[in-house]
Amino acid sequence: MRQSGVIVRVPGKVNLQLSVGPKESDGFHEVVTVFQAIALYDDVTVRFAEKGERLALIAGTAIALEITGGTSNGVPIDTTNLAYRAAQTMIDSYDLEVSAENPLSITLKKEIPVAGGMAGGSADAAGVIVAMDALFELGLSRTEMERIASTLGSDVPFSISGGVAIGRGRGDQITPVLAQGEYHWVLALSNQGLSTPAVYNECDRLREGLTVTAPTANDQLLAALRAGDAKALGVALTNDLQSAACSLRPALRLVLDVGREYGALGNLVSGSGPTVAFLVDNEEKALDLAVALSASGVVGGVLRTSGPTHGARVIQTLH
């Protein structure tokens, strides 16, 4: 019996390192980043329409998109959605049989914060790629799926691989990193997202007149991961976009201060922000910091999680 759909679970991420090179002639920046997938997930369901089912198709397409979950507000339900773009890319690349007579339904159950520097949209795109590979029995290798992913966004390939990895180029050239241990995180969320292009533009503005060198991997950070040394990792956390994010959102500095006061091993703005990630010793310290951040009045919400975790994977087949 042919499967009628699949559900894929895909994680968010924190950037343990984000080093940004100078702005290039095409407007982009070379980066070196170290990703860690964390146990905060979106569930992506891709299925064929049931017989007689009427789907609300996105105009001009054979794809319907539904958004649910705790962080669904503000997610577009049109052709700008990365999950839709991933589906259309897979259809075009592999000549898949999807039409108005045989449409696809995509449901995103979201728990990863939106526009929070945690790859929420990228995770959904990765989930769709893995789901459609399974649904259409394409038998793609992870490398082939990551190649498709890299055409959609710099964080999408890592969302497929998960674990811990170095991203180079635009962040989409993924190399797995040897890492031991479990790491405990407290995430301070903002009520408002930050635009990644705006943060990069501010980074360029702050760097005007300075000599900016090509980015390289942080040897101390990689050694800490190999050793499973959370304290050493906390010291080595770094993000070249942090100053720009704090410039655009000065309240982030107050959030960072609260974490330092309560003994976080390290902290940084995740990616382009505005989520602030705090590395702590254990679950007890995580709870203490979460309570302090909630009481501070300077954050929109607080989550406790851990990493690393797996990349996008099928968790259920629908018949």
Residue 163 CB contacts under 8 Å (≥ 6 apart), including other chains: 36, 37, 176, 177, 179, 308, 309, 310, 311
Set 43, 155, 172, 240: catalytic member: 155
Asked if 188 and 267 count as a contact pair (C-beta separation under 8 A), the reply is no
Question: Cα(297)–Cα(51) distance, rounded to whole angstroms?
Answer: 51
- CB count, 10 Å around CB of 38? 24
Asked if 268 and 250 count as a contact pair (C-beta separation under 8 A), the reply is no
Set 13, 109, 110, 285: catalytic member: 13
What are the angstrom distances between the C-alpha of 246 and each of 20, 261, 264, 269, 272? 16, 18, 19, 9, 10
Is 155 a known active-site residue?
yes
Residue type, 157: P
Q: Which two tokens stand for residue 103?
A: 């449409």
Is 231 a known active-site residue?
no
Catalytic residue positions? Answer: 13, 155
